[in-house]
């Protein structure tokens, strides 16, 4: 589906108060009101969309909102997402279509008429009714119109009328009726004899007017007039006449073409809103007001894809459908959205003097004066010369407009443009509270002072002490204090001197309670200065000198997205949150964003333009243009239904459809690629319908919105499921959800029959098992006796085994005690030897002391006694008996260890064996030395030699090695 670029649109009464900007008073205090209208948006459907002949003759719409179009291939059926084609049996063109009050759709072609029906699987088919006529009456040629009137369905051809009532058909001879219409349940017919009515109860004709009364012109349309019993006739040449059905008087009404025009009227309808739409041969569509007067339109009003409009129809949603010689166009007359300007990116907008001004990236544009008109009016914009380039903002002051521009500051006074010298790169101009006629000029690199005096603006000086960008600035409640937010550097609090000539106090906040210094904006809301960030809204706490969360706003917006715009107007607060625009009422926490969905992602970041006009209308500027919104547009989800149009799946290599009417359809377990197709034809705006769905039993929540009108599931487990789907349009329309209940059948071995077979088999097995058990009990009793005998024998053997085990445990326990005793005796022997060694050391020391005493003794007797003592001590020292006792007992205690050593190391000497035993006992070198009667150095040397004899590495522990050799 190809969607044409939006044109200027707002249908309905978009009333705006002519004031400069946000309620600022204009110089003349004007309070005049005007209506902004625009051309509707148009959706083009081409041959590529419906894959058929593009010449479209007729249209109707059923109760579900599904559209039917007659073309040269048959009937095109459009459910809002997909196109289907139903051909007539003779493949003729479908020239007429009708949806009746009982829900049937009738189609008429060449020598053919019948019904188009939809089966339970969503498939459309044609059922001919031509057989209800006798063979001689079947030569009808083209059925040009179908009507429902007086409980009859009437098919009109040039040769005859066919009426069906209570499933019975009859024909009425025709004298060339080339046009017909039903108005107030009366059937009007036109032929060469004039305009007549037909009473189907009596089958009688009544003449209303003769051809001479409308100048023998060809009637192409008859519609209801503005007065009771009034009918308006439109002729092919462009004239119109009114007929009073009661008095049968006819009057010339109006002519819509000039005398030498080659244009023609081909069709006409009266809309539910009371407007008249004329389809022409070469000038597309003409629009008439309720009085039949043409509404002045520009040449680009409609921009249909073809100039020839064969027929017109209005859908139940209020859209006008143009059936063209080359395609189909849907004209969204009732859209609440109007694109007023779309040639540039809009950063600011204002209304002054009955005109709309737009500051854009290409300069400043101004509209023509808004024309008071209850229908459609052009809103053409032109660029103001001299203001080309990036314009940031507009401000109305003292009857003039100040334009803040990339090239400086400009004054717009009517058509005159004056640049205020000395400035470049200006963001905005703001008034200073408490200093009349003085204004701050906020630039890329600081702030300047501007004054209005003697009817003109004068730049006074640059404010000293602050050189940062001041795009986002607001005056605080503190005297001479302003807040400035920088997109990357955080927040500045500026304190100015009395005359605002310099900054005398500056506080720079990069955090102080704020989540970061980035993406901070400042606004005034409910008399509070609030700061919006990426993680919520904050206010400044003067007491703690830091920023605190703003609970009241955070409860509405949350803290996970950035609110980049806050603007209060009367009872609404407008905002831009996470690239979505919306508003909330003063006493409500609900965010109204649905109407503005298609603007998502199109805002100028931190330069969003929102201009409330009144409580019902607002202008919004984006990167794609300037939009007007009618907030009074009402959504009625309960009257709009999402349709599930088809359910199919893949099974055994084929696509199989399921019924859409069953309460709970069963789908085989072998099915794969289960596909649900859906649409929402009742939505007024079909430009980009979005769907959300959920499969109960699988999904925990609704899916994200998507434009795909289908959902596939590759494989589902057996069980019960409910598929739900809902839709919305990009103007916030929503539909009620639709659901489809189905069951995935279990695998054959989990079916009811299989389960019943399982139960029967189990019962048979239980009966058979019972018999077998009884038989086996007898056998088992005998076996039990034999087993008891064997068990007693085994028990006795086990008892013997247990006794042997206990005996073995006792032996092991005794062995362990003996080993511990050996270790104890070894320790005791070593201690005994140590005592002997200490005794020898004591005797040696005593002998040396006696020798010294003998030298100093003064008489011989004393010396002799000392000699005897020295000699006795020497005899005891020379006694080696204790060594032999130690060696004998030591070898007896460690006999097993010595045997193990000799097995692996047969070359070891007796001294080396003793040294191994002493090392194994974990004695130190100092303790070993006296036992072996060698020096400490000798022990170290002996141990070194022993390591080499044992082939031990330097890192290997000798004690651990000898422990491993213990038997």
Q: Which residues does residue 117 pair with via DSSP β-bridges, in sequence order? A: 125
Alpha helices in 515-573 (DSSP H): 551-557
Residue-number span of the structural domain to which 680 is assigned: 637-750
| Per-residue three-class SS string for 584-633 | EECCCCCCECHHHHHHCCCCCCCCCEEEECCCCEEEEEECCEEEEEECCC
pLDDT band at 178 (very low <50, low <70, confident <90, very high): very high
Q: How far is the C-alpha of 770 from the C-alpha of 102, rounded, in Å? A: 69
CB contact at 8 A, 380 and 361: no
pLDDT tens for 516-569 read: 999 999 999 999 999 999 999 999 999 999 999 999 999 999 998 899 999 999
Question: How large is the average pLDDT for residues 17-23?
Answer: 32
**57: pLDDT strictly greater than 80:** yes
Of 108, 142, 174, the residue at which a domain comes to its end is: 174
**183: pLDDT strictly greater than 70:** yes
881-893 and 910-920 are packed helices; what angle lies between their axes, rounded to 10 degrees?
70
pLDDT band at 815 (very low <50, low <70, confident <90, very high): confident
**Judgement on whether residues 520 and 581 belong to the same structural domain of the protein:** yes
Could you identify the residue written with the tokens 């005690």? 817
Residue in 964, 130, 790 with CA at minimum distance from that of residue 798 = 790
**Tokens (6 digits) for 381:** 């914009």
* Residue 734 covered by a domain: yes
Q: How far is the C-alpha of 526 from the C-alpha of 943, rounded, in Å? A: 96
Q: How far is CA 944 from the centre of its chain?
A: 82
Q: What angle do CA 124, 130, 134 make, to 5 degrees?
A: 165
**374: pLDDT strictly greater than 50:** no
Question: How large is the average pLDDT for residues 842-861?
Answer: 79
> Strand 160-165 and strand 152-156: pairing?
antiparallel
Q: How far is the C-alpha of 152 from the C-alpha of 172, rounded, in Å? A: 13
Q: Helix or strand or coil: residue 815?
A: helix
Mean pLDDT estimate for the chain: 85
**424: pLDDT strictly greater than 80:** yes
Could you identify the residue written with the tokens 């030298």? 855
Q: What angle do CA 690, 691, 694 make, to 5 degrees?
A: 160
925-932 and 910-920 are packed helices; what angle lies between their axes, rounded to 10 degrees?
140
β-sheet with 56-61: strand ranges across: 56-61, 67-71, 74-78, 83-86
pLDDT tens for 712-730 read: 998 888 889 999 999 998 8
pLDDT band at 901 (very low <50, low <70, confident <90, very high): confident
**Judgement on whether residues 491 and 584 belong to the same structural domain of the protein:** yes
**Judgement on whether residues 641 and 591 belong to the same structural domain of the protein:** no
Q: How far apart are the first and last CA of the chain?
A: 97
Question: How large is the average pLDDT for residues 141-147?
Answer: 94
**Judgement on whether residues 585 and 659 belong to the same structural domain of the protein:** no
Q: How far is the C-alpha of 537 from the C-alpha of 33, rounded, in Å? A: 37
**Judgement on whether residues 649 and 568 belong to the same structural domain of the protein:** no
**Judgement on whether residues 571 and 493 belong to the same structural domain of the protein:** yes
* Residue 884 covered by a domain: no
Q: How far is the C-alpha of 784 from the C-alpha of 29, rounded, in Å? A: 118
**934: pLDDT strictly greater than 60:** yes
Domain containing residue 723: CATH number: 2.60.40.10
pLDDT tens for 450-470 read: 999 998 999 999 999 999 999
* Residue 720 covered by a domain: yes
* Residue 626 covered by a domain: no
**Tokens (6 digits) for 181:** 């219409």
Q: How far is the C-alpha of 53 from the C-alpha of 756, rounded, in Å? A: 59
Provide the domain count of the chain.
Answer: 3
* Residue 926 covered by a domain: no
**Judgement on whether residues 582 and 658 belong to the same structural domain of the protein:** no
* Residue 478 covered by a domain: yes
pLDDT tens for 732-743 read: 888 889 999 998
**841: pLDDT strictly greater than 90:** no
Helix (H) or strand (E) run with residue 379 in it: none
pLDDT tens for 764-796 read: 899 888 888 888 888 888 888 888 888 888 888
Cβ atoms within 10 Å of 713's Cβ, excluding its own: 17
Q: What is the pLDDT of residue 39?
A: 55
pLDDT tens for 282-333 read: 888 888 888 888 877 655 456 789 999 999 999 988 889 999 999 999 988 7
Q: What is the pLDDT of residue 870?
A: 80
**Tokens (6 digits) for 361:** 């990236």
* Residue 336 covered by a domain: no
**Judgement on whether residues 580 and 484 belong to the same structural domain of the protein:** yes
pLDDT band at 58 (very low <50, low <70, confident <90, very high): very high
Question: How large is the average pLDDT for residues 207-229?
Answer: 91
Domain containing residue 123: CATH number: 2.130.10.10
- Look up residue 38 and give its DSSP letter: B
Instruction: Tell me phi and psi for residue 709, to 5 degrees.
Output: -85, 40
Of 750, 773, 794, the residue at which a domain comes to its end is: 750
- Look up residue 464 and give its DSSP letter: B
- Look up residue 819 and give its DSSP letter: H
Of 145, 174, 203, the residue at which a domain comes to its end is: 174
Q: What is the pLDDT of residue 966?
A: 63
CB contact at 8 A, 426 and 404: yes
* Residue 662 covered by a domain: yes
Q: Helix or strand or coil: residue 817?
A: helix
**30: pLDDT strictly greater than 70:** no
**27: pLDDT strictly greater than 50:** no
Q: Phi/psi zone of residue 577: left (φ > 0), alpha (ψ -120 to 50 degrees), beta?
A: beta
Q: What percent of the chain has pLDDT over 90?
A: 48
pLDDT tens for 401-414 read: 999 999 999 999 87
**Judgement on whether residues 642 and 594 belong to the same structural domain of the protein:** no
**708: pLDDT strictly greater than 60:** yes
**Tokens (6 digits) for 579:** 């690239």
Range name among 93-97, 342-346, 607-611, 864-868 with the lowest pLDDT average: 864-868
Q: What is the pLDDT of residue 528?
A: 93
pLDDT band at 375 (very low <50, low <70, confident <90, very high): very low
Entry field: residues in the chain: 967
Residue in 47, 52, 57, 69 with CA at minimum distance from that of residue 2 = 47
pLDDT band at 848 (very low <50, low <70, confident <90, very high): confident
pLDDT band at 5 (very low <50, low <70, confident <90, very high): very low
Range name among 14-18, 23-27, 544-548 with the lowest pLDDT average: 14-18
**Judgement on whether residues 642 and 593 belong to the same structural domain of the protein:** no
**Judgement on whether residues 490 and 542 belong to the same structural domain of the protein:** yes
- The highest-confidence range among 36-50, 93-107, 202-216, 877-891, by mean pLDDT, is 93-107
pLDDT tens for 644-698 read: 999 999 988 888 888 888 778 888 888 889 999 999 998 888 888 999 999 998 8
β-sheet with 490-496: strand ranges across: 472-475, 481-486, 490-496, 503-509
Question: How large is the average pLDDT for residues 912-936?
Answer: 79
**Judgement on whether residues 484 and 535 belong to the same structural domain of the protein:** yes
Q: What is the pLDDT of residue 883?
A: 56
The residues near 660 (Cβ < 8 Å, ≥ 6 apart) are 120, 121, 122, 644, 645, 646, 647, 740
Higher pLDDT, 966 or 911: 911
């Amino acid at each position: 589906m190809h969607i044409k670029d939006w044109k200027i649109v707002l249908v309905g009464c978009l009333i705006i108060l002519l004031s400069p900007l946000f309620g600022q008073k204009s110089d003349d205090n004007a309070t005049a009101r005007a209506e902004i209208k625009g051309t509707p948006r148009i959706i083009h459907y081409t041959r590529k969309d419906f894959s058929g002949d593009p010449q479209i003759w007729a249209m109707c719409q059923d109760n579900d909102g599904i559209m039917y179009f007659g073309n040269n291939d048959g009937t095109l059926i459009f459910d809002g997402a997909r196109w289907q084609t139903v051909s007539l049996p003779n493949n003729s063109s479908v020239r007429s279509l009708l949806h009746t009050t009982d829900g049937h759709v009738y189609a008429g072609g060449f020598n053919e008429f019948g019904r188009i029906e939809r089966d339970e699987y969503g498939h459309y088919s044609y059922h001919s009714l031509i057989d209800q006529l006798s063979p001689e009456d079947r030569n009808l040629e083209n059925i040009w119109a179908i009507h429902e009137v007086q409980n009859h369905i009437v098919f009109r051809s040039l040769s005859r009328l066919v009426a069906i009532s209570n499933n019975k058909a009859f024909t009425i001879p025709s004298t060339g009726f080339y046009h017909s219409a039903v108005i107030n349940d009366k059937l009007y017919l036109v032929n060469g004899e004039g305009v007549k009515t037909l009473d189907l109860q009596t089958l009688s004709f009544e003449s209303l007017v003769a051809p001479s009364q409308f100048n023998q012109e060809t009637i192409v349309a008859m519609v209801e007039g503005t007065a009771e019993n009034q009918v308006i006739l439109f002729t092919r040449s462009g004239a119109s006449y009114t007929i009073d059905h009661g008095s049968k008087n006819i009057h010339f009404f109006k002519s819509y073409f000039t005398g030498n025009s080659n244009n023609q009227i081909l069709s006409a309808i009266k809309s539910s809103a009371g407007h008249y739409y004329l389809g022409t041969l070469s000038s597309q569509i003409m629009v008439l007001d309720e009085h039949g007067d043409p509404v002045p339109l520009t040449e680009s009003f409609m921009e249909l894809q073809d100039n020839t409009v064969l027929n017109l129809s209005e859908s139940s949603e209020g859209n006008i459908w143009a059936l063209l010689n080359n395609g189909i166009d849907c004209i969204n007359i009732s859209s609440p959205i109007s694109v007023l300007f779309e040639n540039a990116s809009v950063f600011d907008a204002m209304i002054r003097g009955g005109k709309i001004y737009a500051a854009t990236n290409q300069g400043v544009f101004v509209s023509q004066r808004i024309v008071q008109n209850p229908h459609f009016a052009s809103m053409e914009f032109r660029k103001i010369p001299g203001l080309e380039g990036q314009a940031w903002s507009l401000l109305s002051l003292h009857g003039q407009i100040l334009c803040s521009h990339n090239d400086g500051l400009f004054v717009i006074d009517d058509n005159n443009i004056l640049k205020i010298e000395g400035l470049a790169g200006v963001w905005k101009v703001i008034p200073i509270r408490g200093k009349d006629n003085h204004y701050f000029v906020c630039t890329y690199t600081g702030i300047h002072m501007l004054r209005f005096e003697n009817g003109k603006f004068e730049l006074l000086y640059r404010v000293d002490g602050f050189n940062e960008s001041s795009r986002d600035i607001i005056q605080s409640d503190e005297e001479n204090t302003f807040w400035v937010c920088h997109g990357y550097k955080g927040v500045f609090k500026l304190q100015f001197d009395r005359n605002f000539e310099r900054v005398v106090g500056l506080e720079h906040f990069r955090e102080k309670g704020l989540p970061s210094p980035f993406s901070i904006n400042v606004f005034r809301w409910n008399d509070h200065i609030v700061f919006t960030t990426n993680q919520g809204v904050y206010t400044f706490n003067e007491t703690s000198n830091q920023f605190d969360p703003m609970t009241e706003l955070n409860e509405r917006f949350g803290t996970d997205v950035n609110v980049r715009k806050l603007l209060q107007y009367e009872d609404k607060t407008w905002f831009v949150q996470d690239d979505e625009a919306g508003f909330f009422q003063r006493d409500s926490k609900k965010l109204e964003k649905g109407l503005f969905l298609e603007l998502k992602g199109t805002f100028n970041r931190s330069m969003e333009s929102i201009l409330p006009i009144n409580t019902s209308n607002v202008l919004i500027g984006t990167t794609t243009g300037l939009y007007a919104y009618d907030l009074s547009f009402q959504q009625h989800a309960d009257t709009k239904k999402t349709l599930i149009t088809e359910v199919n799946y893949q099974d055994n290599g084929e696509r199989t459809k399921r019924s859409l009417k069953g309460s709970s359809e069963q789908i085989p377990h072998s099915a794969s690629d289960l596909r649900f197709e859906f649409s929402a034809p009742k939505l007024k705006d079909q430009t980009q319908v979005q769907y959300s769905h959920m499969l109960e039993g699988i999904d925990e929540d609704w899916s994200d919105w998507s434009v795909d009108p289908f959902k596939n599931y590759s494989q589902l487990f057996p069980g019960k499921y409910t598929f739900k789907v809902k839709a919305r349009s990009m103007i916030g329309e929503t539909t009620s959800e639709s659901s489809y209940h189905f069951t995935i059948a279990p695998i054959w071995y989990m079916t009811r029959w299989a389960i019943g077979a399982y139960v029967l088999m189990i019962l048979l097995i239980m009966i058979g098992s019972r018999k077998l058990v009884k038989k086996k009990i007898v056998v088992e009793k005998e076996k039990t006796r034999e087993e008891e005998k064997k068990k007693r024998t085994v028990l006795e053997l086990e008892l013997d085994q247990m006794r042997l085990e206990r005996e073995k445990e006792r032996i092991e326990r005794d062995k362990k005690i003996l080993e511990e005793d050996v270790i104890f005796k070894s320790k005791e022997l070593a201690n005994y030897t140590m005592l002997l060694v200490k005794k020898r050391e004591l005797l040696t020391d005593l002998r040396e002391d006696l020798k010294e005493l003998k030298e100093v003794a003064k008489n011989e007797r004393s010396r002799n006694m000392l000699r005897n003592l020295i000699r006795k001590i020497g005899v005891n020292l020379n006694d080696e008996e204790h060594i032999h006792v130690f060696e004998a007992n030591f070898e007896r205690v460690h006999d097993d260890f010595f045997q193990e050593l000799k097995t692996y190391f047969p070359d070891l000497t007796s001294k080396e064996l003793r040294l191994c035993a002493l090392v194994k006992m974990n004695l130190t070198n100092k303790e070993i030395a006296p036992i072996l009667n060698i020096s400490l150095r000798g022990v170290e040397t002996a141990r070194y030699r022993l390591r080499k004899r044992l082939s031990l590495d330097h890192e290997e522990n000798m004690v651990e090695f000898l422990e491993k050799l213990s038997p």
